[in-house]
Homo-oligomer: A and B are copies of this chain.
Amino acid sequence: MTIVRHESSEILSDVVEANGFVFTAGVVADDPSEDAKGQTEQILKEIDRLLGLCGTDKSKIVSATIWVTDIRNRDQVNVAWRAWTGGKDLPARACVEAKLADPRLLVEIAVIAVK
């Protein structure tokens, strides 16, 4: 059993591999000045990158958890989400409302993939 941790900061690793699964941290936008759709686009691009570090990709995501600071932004998140998934290889998903670490952050997404 091997655990591979990528891009560890002081408190977390951005993505961790173990036993054929890949777990990302809750990813937020680097540029919080964008709206919910723009922040989601940033997040999904970063998730692509993190999965790539593990030798996997979005077609192998099995589960996603999405937190939005205002549930009314769910539609905007879904616009970016649908463009990104292309309606293919869709994971199980939950989307609920929660305040996030910085009030400018509108969206946070964590995924579990296989590799």
Residues on A close to B: CB < 8 A?
Answer: 1, 3, 5, 8-16, 18-21, 23-26, 60, 62-65, 67, 71, 74, 78, 81-82, 85, 87, 89-101, 108, 110, 112, 114-115
Contacts and interface: CB of A to CB of B under 8 A. Distances in A.
A10 B86 CA distance: 9
B10 A82 contact: yes
Q: How many copies does the complex hold?
A: 3
Given A11-B81, A20-B19, A71 B100 contact: yes
A87 B13 CA distance: 10
Given A1-B114, A11-B81, A23 B96 contact: no
Contacts of A101: 71, 74, 95
